[in-house]
Amino acid sequence: MNEFILKTVKVSKNVFVAVEPTVPGYKILRTGKTHAEIERQYGEMAYEECERIISEIERHVDDFLRVYTHQELGDYCFYCNSPAELDEDGRPVCCERAIQDYNEWAERQIVGEKE
């Protein structure tokens, strides 16, 4: 059986310059911190460095559409600062405090249904 193959051409989309900041490792104190806390600190420092780079670009470069900081956010547990983890039923599994918080919330939902 023959399948139709659509003829296509490659067209450039979303063309831009990306500048990735460097954050010296010595500025991040690792003693007593979890991996998640180090990631968060690095992200905050990298964002600040991006903002500094933007001001330099705006001061020295002409004729550009826009310059901005792009960041991807991750969900972290409010209580333990670990990446948020849920089981297949949507219950947290990262720490006891998050599990307790969920259980209290679930209990309020059940009580609310009975009223």
User: Structure pTM?
Assistant: 0.55
- The position carrying tokens 């059940």 is 110
Q: Which residues pair with 86 in a beta bridge?
A: 92
The domain limits of the chain are: 15-73, 77-115
The CA distance from 27 to 38, in Å, is 11
State residue 114's pLDDT score. Answer: 54
Give the tens place of pLDDT for each residue, 45-95: 888 888 999 999 999 999 888 888 888 888 888 888 788 888 998 889 988
pLDDT of residue 35: 73
